[in-house]
């Protein structure tokens, strides 16, 4: 699959489920076989992410409980830079983007942490500060089936951790202190009520 933004009209858009949908709290199963259906789903997820103006999207957010997430930090604002290293050498970000992560593992590198603003396409209208490891090692499969093993900082590290959480049924609001979470309860209750049909 091309790493460039696909604007083909034959790629379908998917519905992004909102807070309260049970899929958002489900742990995704490992993908044992990367077949055409997974490739198509990844392409549809990327197009949906671009349409929604997000930088990441996990399978749980389109109602699928599998270990698949997509990221493209090149579409993000310029004041939130990213860096990446492969085999100890810094690489150009566009060589990784868009990133399709299948069965990812993420490990902190060092002890430095960063607080940064996060939001979520599944929790529209809510932004808050989240404390996460500043640099991480990401090991995942690509659509080709090859293993990708690299380190990241900045927005890419944050986005990868955010999406990795989704794949395990964790939302970014779970990292917030109780006081902040209380402040967001009116919006969360409103979104929960809209999802009560599920």
Inter-residue contact 57 to 70 (CB < 8 Å)? yes
Pairing of strands 128-133, 113-118: antiparallel
H-helix segments, the chain: 36-51, 155-167, 178-183, 185-194
Tokens of 77: 């604002």
Report, as residue numbers or ranges, the catalytic residues.
163
């Amino acid at each position: 699959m091309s790493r460039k933004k696909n604007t083909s009209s034959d790629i379908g858009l998917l519905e992004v489920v909102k807070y309260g949908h049970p899929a958002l709290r489900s742990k995704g199963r490992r993908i044992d076989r990367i077949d055409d259906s997974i490739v198509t789903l990844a392409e549809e997820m990327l197009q949906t992410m671009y349409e929604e103006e997000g930088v990441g999207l996990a399978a749980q957010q389109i109602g699928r409980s599998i270990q698949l997430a997509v990221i493209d930090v090149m579409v993000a604002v310029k004041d939130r830079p990213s860096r990446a290293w492969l085999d100890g050498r810094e690489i150009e970000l566009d060589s990784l983007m868009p990133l399709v992560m299948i069965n990812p593992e993420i490990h902190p590198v060092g002890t430095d942490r960063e607080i940064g603003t996060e939001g979520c396409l599944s929790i529209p209208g809510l932004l808050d500060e989240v404390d996460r490891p500043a640099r991480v090692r990401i090991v995942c499969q690509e659509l080709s089936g090859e293993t990708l093993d690299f380190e990241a900082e900045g927005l890419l590290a944050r986005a990868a951790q955010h999406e990795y959480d989704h794949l395990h049924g964790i939302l970014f609001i779970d990292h917030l202190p109780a006081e902040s979470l209380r402040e967001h309860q009116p919006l969360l209750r409103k979104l929960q009520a809209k999802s009560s049909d599920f």
